[in-house]
Amino acid sequence: MTEAKALALSKKSGTSSSGKNALNTEKANEITKVLTFLIGEQVYGIEIPYIIEIIGVPTITQVPCYEIPSFIKGIINVRSKVVPIVNVRACFGKPEIDYNERTCTIIVAHEGVSVGLIVDEVLDVSSVTERHLARTPELNQVNNNKFIDYILEMNDGVKLVLDVQKLIFDHDLAY
C-alpha cells in the first residue's frame, strides 16, 4: 500500500530521488514528512531524512577563492566538522537580507556531503499524504526554480519541496 503511494509520488515528481526516501514511512497514508521554512513570503520544504540539524547562524569563515560563487558563503565549524554554507536566497536569485534572530541554518546531508542552508525562518514539520501532491506534470515549465522537486497544496498554502540532491550537487542550476 505504502509502496503504491510512493510510486504515485515519484511518478508525479518525475525522476526524483525522493521516492526512495518516502518508502520508510510507517503510517499508511503518510508518504513523507517535510520540514518547512520561509524564504521571503514563500514556504519551502525539505524532506526530513535529509536533515541533520537546525542551528542559528554561526560565525562563517569566508573562503577567498574567486571561483567560488557568491551564494556559497563560506565554511562553519559544527562540532569539529567543517561544513560549507549556502545562502538559499542567493541561490534562488533573490536579494539577500541581513541575518536576524529568526534566521536559521539547516544542515542537510546527502551521499556523505553535508551543507548548511541559510533560510529566513524555520516553520514546522508537515506530514505529507497523497492528496497534498499538486498535479503539476510539467513542473519545470510552470516554475523557473530548478531545485524544486514537487509541490504540495495544503490547507495553509502551497509548499515547494526542494530536491536536496540538486541543491548539493548541481551548483550550475543556481542563479
Partner 1 sequence: MANIDPGMAAMLDAYLFESSTLLEQLDEILLRTEEAATFTEDDINEIFRIMHTIKGSSAMMGFESLQQLSHKGEDMFFLIRENSIEDTSFIYDLVFRMSDLFKEEIDLIQGEEYNPTDFSDIIKQLEEGAERLAGKVSGAPEPVAAVAAPAAAVASAAVVDSDSITVIVHFEPGIEMENLRAFLLLNKIMEETEVSDSFPKDVDSDPSTAAEIANNGFRVTFKAEDRESVVKLLEVSLNIDNYEFIENPGDLAAANAAAVSPAVETPTAQSSAPTPAKSTAAVSPPPANAANAGAPHAAPAKQSIISVNLAKLDQLHDIVGEIITTESMVISNPELEGLQLESFHKAARDLRKLTDELQDTVMSIRMVPLSGPFSKMNRIVRDMKKALGKDVELIIEGESTEVDKSIVDNLNDPLMHLVRNCMDHGIETTSEERVALGKPEKAFIKLAAVNASGEVVITISDDGKGIDHDRVLDKAERLGLLMKPRGDYSEREAQNLITMPGFSTNEEVTEYSGRGVGMDVVKQNIEKCGGTILVESKIGAGTVFTIKIPLTLAIIDGMEIEVGGTIFTIPISMIRQSFKVTEDQIIRDTQRGEMIMIRGECYPIMRLHEKFNIMSEVTNFEDGILILVETENKSVCLFSDKLIGEQQVVVKPFPAYFSRYNIKGAGLSGCTIMGDGSIALIIDVTNLIEN
Non-local (6+) Cβ contacts of 157 within 8 A are: 43
Phi/psi of residue 20, nearest 5 degrees:
-65, -40
125 and 33 Cβ atoms separated by less than 8 Å: yes
Site string for partner 1, 115-134 (x = CB under 8 A): x-------------------
Stretch of residues binding partner 1 (CB under 8 A), selected from 42-50, 66-74, 132-140, 142-150? 66-74
Which one-letter amino acid corresponds to residue 152? L
70 and 90 Cβ atoms separated by less than 8 Å: yes
Question: Does 18 engage in binding with partner 1 (CB under 8 A)?
Answer: no
Q: Minimum Å distance from CB 172 to partner 1?
A: 10
> How many residues lie near partner 1 (CB under 8 A)?
24
53 and 64 Cβ atoms separated by less than 8 Å: no
Which one-letter amino acid corresponds to residue 66? Y
Question: Does 106 engage in binding with partner 1 (CB under 8 A)?
Answer: no
Shorter beta-carbon distance to partner 1: residue 22 or 106 = 106
Which residues lie near partner 1 (CB under 8 A)? 59, 61-68, 72, 75-77, 79-80, 82-84, 112-115, 168, 171
